A and B are shown apart, each in its own frame.
Chain A
Amino acid sequence: MLAYMARRLAVSIPTLLLISMLVFSLQLLLPGDPALAIAGEERSPEVVEAIRERYHLNDPVPVQYWYWLTGVLSGDMGESIRSRMPVTELILSKLPVTIQLAVMAMIIALAIGIPAGIVSAVRKGSGWDVGANVVALSGISIPNFWLGIMLIMLVSVQWGLLPASGYANPLEDPIRNIQTMIMPAFVLGTGIAAIMMRHTRSAMLSSLRADYVRTARAKGLSERVVVLRHALRNALIPVVTLGTLQLGELLSGAVLTEQIFTIPGFGKLIVDAVFNRDYAVVQGVVLFTGTAFILMNLLADMLYFLLNPRLRA
Chain B
Amino acid sequence: MTMKNWHAGLLAAGFIALTASAAGAQTLRVGLQEDPDLLDPDLARSFVGRIVFTSLCDKLVDLGPDLEFVPQLATEWSWSPDNKALTMKLRQGVTFHDGEPFNAEAVKFNVERSLTLPGSTRRSEIAAVASVDVVDPYTVRLDLSEPFAPLLAALSDRAGMMISPKAARETGENFSRTPVCSGPYKFVERVAQDRIVLEKFPQHWNADAYPLAQVSYLPIPDTTVRLANLQSGGLDIIERTAPADLPTVRGDSSLKLEQATSLGYQGITLNVGNGPRADQPLGKDPKVREAFELAIDRTIVNQVGFEGEHTVGNQPVAPTNPYYAKNVPVPERDVERAKKLLEEAGHGRVKVELMTPNAPDSLRVAEVIQALAGEAGFDVSVNATEFATGLDRQTRGDFEAFLIGWSGRADPDGNIHTFISCKGGLNDGKYCNPQVDEHLNAARTTTDTAARKAEYAKAAELYLADRQRIYMYHQNWFWAMTAGLEGFKPHPDGMIRLEGVSLKK
Contact = CB atoms under 8 A, between A and B. Distances in A.
Contacts of A50: 118-120
Contact of B218 (A46, A54, A166): A166
A264 interface: yes
Given A54-B119, A163-B232, A44 B426 contact: yes
Interface string B211-223: 0000000111110
Given A36-B388, A51-B119, A262-B220, A272 B35 contact: yes
A171 to B, nearest CB: 13
A41 B47 CA distance: 9
Interface stretch (A11-19, A149-157, A211-219): A149-157
A178 interface: yes
A152 B387 CA distance: 29
Interface residues of A, number: 55
Interface in B209-238: 218-222, 224-225, 228-229, 231-234
A189 B391 CA distance: 40
B386 interface: yes
A111 interface: yes
Interface stretch (A81-89, A190-198, A201-209): A81-89
A36 B392 contact: yes
B481 to A, nearest CB: 16
Contacts of A44: 121, 124, 418, 425-426
Given A44-B418, A90-B192, A262-B220, A178 B45 contact: no
Contacts of A178: 10, 13-14, 17
Contact of B17 (A42, A179, A259): A179
Nearest to A153: B228
Contacts of B38: 82-84
Nearest to B117: A50
Interface string B32-44: 0001011000000
A260 B228 CA distance: 11
A93 interface: yes
Interface string B107-150: 00000000000111101100000000000000000000000000
A50 B118 CA distance: 7
Contacts of B229: 156, 163-166
B92 to A, nearest CB: 33
A175 interface: yes
Contacts of B228: 152-153, 156-157, 164-165
B238 to A, nearest CB: 12
Interface residues of B, number: 55
A147 to B, nearest CB: 14
Contacts, number: 146
Contacts of A90: 192
B450 interface: no
B477 to A, nearest CB: 16
A47 interface: yes
Contacts of A45: 425
A161 interface: yes
B17 A47 contact: no
Interface string B396-413: 000000000011000000
B429 to A, nearest CB: 15
B40 to A, nearest CB: 9
Interface string A14-39: 00000000000000000111101111
Contact of B18 (A157, A161, A182): A161
A106 interface: no
A164 B47 CA distance: 25
A39 B232 CA distance: 35
Contacts of A199: none
Nearest to B264: A41
A111 B194 contact: no
A43 B426 contact: yes
Interface string A67-78: 000000000000
B320 interface: no
A143 interface: no
B1 to A, nearest CB: 11
B321 interface: no
Task: Name the residue among A33, A47, A163, A164 with the largest chain B CB count within 10 angstroms.
Answer: A164
Contact of B13 (A43, A161, A175, A261): A175
A262 B388 contact: no
Given A157-B232, A164-B225, 9 more contacts: A31-B386, A36-B392, A37-B387, A84-B38, A84-B173, A84-B174, A164-B229, A178-B10, A179-B14
Closest 4 CB pairs of A and B: A37-B388, A32-B388, A264-B194, A156-B232
23 contacts: A31-B388, A32-B389, A33-B391, A42-B121, A47-B45, A47-B119, A83-B37, A84-B174, A152-B225, A152-B228, A156-B229, A156-B234, A160-B233, A162-B232, A163-B234, A164-B225, A165-B234, A178-B17, A179-B14, A182-B14, A260-B225, A262-B225, A277-B388
Interface of B: 3, 6-7, 10, 13-14, 16-18, 20, 35, 37-38, 45-47, 118-121, 123-124, 173-174, 176-177, 191-194, 218-222, 224-225, 228-229, 231-234, 386-389, 391-392, 395, 406-407, 418, 425-426
